[in-house]
Amino acid sequence: MSTPSKQPPSVPAQRSYVNRTETPLLVSVPAAAHLLGIGKSVAWDMIRTGELPKVRLRGRVLVPRSALERLAGMHGMPPAERGGPTS
């Protein structure tokens, strides 16, 4: 019998898709990192630089689901189309 992998409670079980009706409007930074497929430290760096928006709510730092969807939608676009440097 295999033991299920342990994940922090703030991180949803991994799926091959994200169901908008099950994903909250605001997610924790570890959950945002998980949904984007990046490490937590990378997510915190993106928040620090403003690349990933944050919402402070009662001392918690949360990331809007809409920001994750926008960021994921921009992945693979040429820099000129996503507003970044072209070189």
Contact 55, 62 (CB under 8 A): yes
Query: Can you tell me the mean pLDDT for 64-87?
Result: 72
Residue 43: CA count within 13 A, CB half-sphere: 21
Is the pTM higher than 0.95? The answer reads no
Burial class of residue 38 (count of CB atoms within 10 Å of its CB; 0-12, 13-18, 19+): middle
Query: What is the structure's pLDDT at 36?
Result: 94
Query: What band does 1 get if pLDDT is binned at 50, 70 and 90?
Result: low
The pLDDT tens digits for 7-62 are 555 555 544 455 667 889 999 999 999 999 999 999 999 999 999 999 999 999 99
d(CA 85, CA 25): 30
In this structure, the chain runs to a length of 87
